Structure 1
């Protein structure tokens, strides 16, 4: 058995680890100790919950607050942490703590897990990611715990609620133990702001957080140069949030927001704009939104988070590069230039492949679910599939109504969204020697 595992490529081994983590988690969540007294959960529902926790998605087929005991909630927190910051981050910490050597195989797995471009500096990156993540989660848990205890009078459970909420928000897990996500806090802007900052911290990308830390530590901040990745992903991320707020406000001003004061409507729009990146928590029943808003939300979830973050989807930089490529082609430009740099052709080609593959996966999944359960409306299916692919967790209430085949389809999409399109393609990719000859080239009509 050990010899067989050693023959696996780093990509295959990494996928196997996440798959095994889901199976192990499903067994743990199926145990009676994980449930409240008198509550029974089928293995398929336990598997779905395990998948949504490990992939930090947040789609659920059972009510987390009413179904799982304190033991179950602790299990879910461990699963969210594992899925959020990644196996290789925790693995690197354990290897360092036990004095084990981090060889080339493990470094390649780290590179794939965190979507890095080379092997240099990976161990230090993993250490920084873990320390930054734990610090942000601790601050969020303390703020929320104190607020729940002193202001909202949650009693002895206040800090459990604070810890779970902080961890779920930062890892963009989308799970809650309140019973209705954050709908009870639709008028509580302090809780919303803390959750939004935690979601942003998890979804903006670990390399961005590390560079921000290095900027703070730099003795000469004026001379510090952020990487092109940080500039592009931060610009794209906040541009998408701003556009989303404007679109939601425009679409719902005469509908859902028509009787609300401006600040209430603004916070609904802002929270949904941020949580659509991959957060999955909600301050409202999204069935209240109009069809255009639900479609727009679906597209935002399809885009997902930034690369090398806790979220899924095609990723923000993929969208940015594809749009820039379209713009440059329309202008007759052969190269994409931004922030004083020029993008490599390989990255442009990679972005196009990721975008197209993501669209195909979502389209096939929608078709499968619609064939299996034609009684559901198209928008509900599209919304749920995009939420699973973006590992977001927002829902129009379809997941609990899915058949066994529908649930398995959503589980598969959540898994693909978590490991990422590139890792999925690398899984089926074979190393081939350079071609020794080329066929004559011929052009085809495009478009």
Structure 2
């Protein structure tokens, strides 16, 4: 009699999710060690779990004062967690495999494809190498610029402190982690435009998507050799959507706050406040002002931008910019009487269109459930809860100040929301998806009334 092996192999999605959950658990235990704390500081398990989850998901929401709890070793550990969550655990894994001269087989390539939401296995190792080198280059450049500026502007007197702060700020901005070591985000730099410009560039480079950065690098290389280069549809859609959302966010901020927060601000102050907050909603979460003083229309608009989030295969969360673009393009095509969706001389796959609406529906359901539960459990105003949940799901980290006031149940809800935002809706659905079974029959089809 044949022996049947009933052992079930784990899927690549399950493995990747287990990697991230393991990273959160290990990080939680590490962050509790006294070697990483300021003298006299202590960290409970729940606070450590929340901090680790926020760091791995590169969100930035905190229930503690980072600069009061962690010493320099603790801050260095946090930057490592930003890297794991930002550029991806499999990017770092590929780096170690290459250093150790280990063979990267088919199974490992599937893990990489799942972690970075890639449809094919071709060129993954080369892509991971490019992503890692670009991340190192950008973060190093940011460290040098910020550290040098801290010294030149007189923020820090000694070079070690200046460049250490520059390093932490550079990694936090590029990975869109949203953590700061000043205790009030970047409010103390609200009138320092040079500092803000450096941060805005780092935030954009992190949230625009790694494939876009790689294609820009390849474009520059082709131009030097006078070769023709064509950007992919992904890069065109991502860049256009990112630009439109950022500009629209800044314009709406100016419109809604012109007679409010910006009423007595100069034109340059107003412009930088609007642009920085708009770009930060892509996923960074760093702020140059107290967002709790903003009007309701502005808070709703910022929440919507955080819900959309950053580009796919970037350091950010949310439903992603391409999801939003495909939905809008599909609606416009339907209004024009077309069944197919054409953009930039290409026709979108029906499967991608269905996935976009599926991601949107599931994301709205999860965010709605989290809001209802938090309002029920915490009794906080729905406006503040709505903002906080969208910030967690978009792995943004902007806060109206209620996170530290949440109960244990409330914090657990935000932890789950942050991790889902980082892992992604598609990965969540694949994690819950059952094995496909071959259907040998179909029922008769019948139309139903939709929409009215």
TM bin, normalised by shorter chain, reads over 0.9
Q: 1:19 aligns with which of 11, 21, 30?
A: 21
Q: 1:271 aligns with which of 273, 276, 294?
A: 276
Q: CA RMSD in A?
A: 1.4
- The 5 Å alignment of 1:322-361 reads 322-361=327-366
Judge conservation of contact 1:34–1:72 (CA < 8 Å) in 2: yes
The corresponding residue for 1:133 is 135
Tell me, in whole angstroms, the C-alpha distance in 2 between the residues paired with 1:317 and 1:5.
Answer: 38
Q: 1:192 aligns with which of 189, 196, 212?
A: 196
Aligned: 1:42 with 2:44: yes
Aligned with 1:284: secondary structure?
Answer: coil
Judge conservation of contact 1:306–1:317 (CA < 8 Å) in 2: yes
Tell me, in whole angstroms, the C-alpha distance in 2 between the residues paired with 1:6 and 1:267.
Answer: 54
Q: 1:443 aligns with which of 424, 429, 447?
A: 447
Judge conservation of contact 1:391–1:418 (CA < 8 Å) in 2: yes
The corresponding residue for 1:398 is 402
Structure 1 moving runs of 4+ over 6 Å: 3-6
Tell me, in whole angstroms, the C-alpha distance in 1 between the residues paired with 2:227 and 2:179.
Answer: 40
Report deviation, 1:5. 11
Tell me, in whole angstroms, the C-alpha distance in 2 between the residues paired with 1:272 and 1:222.
Answer: 39
Tell me, in whole angstroms, the C-alpha distance in 1 between the residues paired with 2:415 and 2:144.
Answer: 33
Tell me, in whole angstroms, the C-alpha distance in 2 between the residues paired with 1:413 and 1:239.
Answer: 26
Report deviation, 1:4. 12
- The 5 Å alignment of 1:375-390 reads 376-390=380-394
Report deviation, 1:152. 2.3
Structure 1, unpaired ranges of 5+: none
Tell me, in whole angstroms, the C-alpha distance in 2 between the residues paired with 1:368 and 1:421.
Answer: 20
- The 5 Å alignment of 1:113-152 reads 113-152=115-154
The corresponding residue for 1:9 is 11
1:294-320 superposed Cα distances (whole Å, 9 cap, x missing partner): 111001000000000000000001001
Q: 2:285 aligns with which of 245, 267, 280?
A: 280
Q: 1:51 to 1:221 in 2, by over 3 A?
A: farther
Structure 2, unpaired ranges of 5+: none
Tell me, in whole angstroms, the C-alpha distance in 1 between the residues paired with 2:417 and 2:218.
Answer: 36
The corresponding residue for 1:171 is 175
The corresponding residue for 2:221 is 217
With the length of structure 1 as denominator, give the TM-score of the two structures: 0.97
Tell me, in whole angstroms, the C-alpha distance in 2 between the residues paired with 1:357 and 1:382.
Answer: 17
Judge conservation of contact 1:11–1:426 (CA < 8 Å) in 2: yes
Which deviates more, 416-425 or 214-223? 214-223
Tell me, in whole angstroms, the C-alpha distance in 2 between the residues paired with 1:74 and 1:82.
Answer: 13
Aligned: 1:434 with 2:420: no
Judge conservation of contact 1:5–1:13 (CA < 8 Å) in 2: no
1:356-391 superposed Cα distances (whole Å, 9 cap, x missing partner): 1110010000011111111x1111100010000000
Judge conservation of contact 1:215–1:221 (CA < 8 Å) in 2: no
Report deviation, 1:222. 6.9
